[in-house]
Amino acid sequence: MVKKLKQIYAKQTLYQKVRLIILLFSIPSLVCLAVISLIVIWQSQISKVRDESVRDLQRRFGDMNYKMNTIELMAKTVWADTTFVTEVGKAAMDGSLREYDRYLFQTHTLSTLKVITSISEVQSARLHLEYPGLREYFSYVYSMDRAKDSLWYEDREALRSGGAWYLNSTDAQVYGTYSNYFVGKNRASFVIPVRINNNMTGIFEIALPMNSVVPGLYEVMEGRDVFLIDDRERLLGIEDASGLSGITPQELAELMGISDIGDYYGEGVRIFHGSWHGRPVMLSAIKDSGKGILLMQLAFVGEKYMMIALEIISILFVEIVLILLLFQAINGVVRHLLHDFDVFTMCIREVGDGNLNVEIPRLEQVEVNLVAEEYNRMLGRVRELMEISIHREVMVKEAQLKSLEKQINSHFLYNVLDSIKMMAEVRGIYNVSDALLALGRMFRYNLQIDSHSVTLQEEILYLENYLKLCNIRYDFYINLNEKIEDPVKTLKVPKVILQPIAENSISYGLDELTEDTTIYLKAYVKGECCHIEITDMGKGMDEEQLKKVQRGIESPSAGNDSCGGIGLANIHERIRLMYGEPYGVEIFSRKDCYTKVVLTIRVDSGADRDRQSAGKAGSLT
């Protein structure tokens, strides 16, 4: 089967093959893109619904904890005051207490409880005491019997010292001296056991609406409802209008995948997906293990799933339309592509015949045109390299001739200088002897033609010998300040790159009137480059002069190349020939301030550089 398909493909025209290949690569890509898009959209939309539910439940849970912790702190703070406890016991037990003292107790001592009830949403803060003949004080101190219909009444003996919460605790109407003891339904109470003395114990209760403890607990929300399950597994907060009336804790446990709602011990907010009465729902749950409260939110997500499905269907429709349009557009695209290839082929054949000046014209197809532009640049680079190669060959030939002439002349002059130096030493003219020694070393340095690069330390010694001779010639003394990093001293550099720059500084920048006649030499390595800076504090240059010198460095014909042909342009060209365009010479200056020349060379092994420079530019020195 495969062999037969290959034979059929081989018989097709180029137009048909290209069209088939484009289809084979495009359609699977579009299908994969559609599948990935559908998955991403589904996951992003579901995550958006989940994140919204998580944030809402976390906010409500945080508000609930904050409210409960605040109430607990207030209750414990009141009963930490021993003076308050003592006065309450005295007023409640002493039946002979004068009316004025009772008035003071009500207006002053019980003001602590009044502060609690003044807080927003707190309905009551009252004390229930067990003591025969108890004196009640409206509306803060009551007999324990008045709370017999409260949820916590049966548990009052077993309450822990830290207190406990009772949610949805309702009061029945208790008639008597204080008929307004009634509070109402949907109320939460925090109760804490108290001991006034050995004969009197009781319960301190702070009551507030359930809706203030859990915001939105009894509010009707569209498509969702917030409710909780307390430590007695009672379901609280379900509203009939939400559509969840009749749901049980067992049904919630089944949605969560557990057998009993009391077995849930998840950390943080957890999301569960399922269905209730045939409708898809999403259940969010978070539990306060300390208080035994499970806060939950159940939302009907059928409409949201429907919206996601519609969005996915619209994307599928768009993908099908794109495939049809692609099929119709392939024919025209292939024709344009083949036309550009024909032009490309004709130009390549002409280049193959030896015409390197041909250039491919601008083509219609962007991709093919990019290839054509790169091909044109490649041809241009080939022509440029050929010109550079020819230029280098000419320079090498000229340099070889100059090297032979210089070797003959320099050998003769070096021998003569050595003889004169010996005569000066015999006669005791040591300053002349030192000058001749420096000059001889310079000639010997120039005679080293076996290598076109030297260490930076050798180049600095050559510069020092040159400055010694300059100090004899000029009426002012020239110092050399060196700041060279140790690793740089052994770095290989082209020969005679420092002396021409120093000569320019002496000739054009320094004189006897200059305050600072020091030439500052600094060399350091930064990254893969070595930077050599030569600075003088002389006359400097104005902006126009500086631009002229900079143009002369880049184009020797535009500037003034000094020092017998070994100037800045010559140094710049040798460095460029040896290392490439990113390297070379830069100059900076300010009128009546300074002039700085910076040489930038690549950091590599001396052996490699010798091989690169041999036959290119070393003999220019």
Residues with pLDDT less than 50, the chain: 173-179, 404, 407-408, 449, 558-565, 605-621
Give the model's pLDDT for residue 9: 65
Radius of gyration of the chain (CA): 49
Give the model's pLDDT for residue 175: 42
334-366 per-position pLDDT tens digit? 776 677 777 777 887 887 777 777 777 877 667
Burial of 471 (0-12, 13-18, 19+ CB in 10 A): middle
Tokens 């859990």 map to which residue?
214
Nearest to 228 by CA among 174, 169, 296: 296
Helix (H, G, I), strand (E, B) or coil at 137: strand
* Helices and strands: H and E segment counts in the chain: 16, 17
Give the model's pLDDT for residue 12: 67
Q: By the 8 A CB rule, do 429 and 467 touch?
A: no
86-130 per-position pLDDT tens digit? 788 777 776 666 777 777 777 777 777 777 777 767 888 888 888
Helix segments in 427-493, DSSP class H:
430-447, 456-473, 486-489
Q: By the 8 A CB rule, do 301 and 292 touch?
A: no
pTM for the model stands at 0.47
Helix orientation angle between 302-352 and 14-78, rounded to the nearest 10 degrees: 140
Nearest to 612 by CA among 524, 441, 492: 492
Give the model's pLDDT for residue 606: 44
- 89/177 Cα distance (integer angstroms): 20
Give the model's pLDDT for residue 170: 62
Give the model's pLDDT for residue 481: 93
Q: Which contacts qualify for 456-462: CB closer than 8 Å, 24 or more apart?
A: 456/484, 456/488, 456/489, 456/490, 456/491, 456/492, 456/493, 456/523, 456/532, 457/489, 457/490, 459/493, 459/495, 459/496, 459/497, 459/498, 460/484, 460/489, 460/498, 460/521, 462/496, 462/498, 462/499
- 46/39 Cα distance (integer angstroms): 11
Give the model's pLDDT for residue 535: 94
Nearest to 574 by CA among 498, 486, 462: 498
Give the model's pLDDT for residue 536: 92
Give the model's pLDDT for residue 607: 39
Give the model's pLDDT for residue 285: 92
> Which residues are 282's β-sheet partners?
273, 299
- 333/326 Cα distance (integer angstroms): 10
Give the model's pLDDT for residue 524: 92
- 279/375 Cα distance (integer angstroms): 65
Q: Is 448 left (phi over 0), alpha (psi -120 to 50) or beta?
A: beta
Peptide bond into 96 cis (omega under 30): no
Give the model's pLDDT for residue 533: 95
Q: By the 8 A CB rule, do 399 and 573 touch?
A: no
| Count of other CB atoms within 10 angstroms of residue 351 | 16
Give the model's pLDDT for residue 352: 77
Give the model's pLDDT for residue 615: 38
Nearest to 589 by CA among 568, 570, 573, 574: 568
- 295/230 Cα distance (integer angstroms): 9
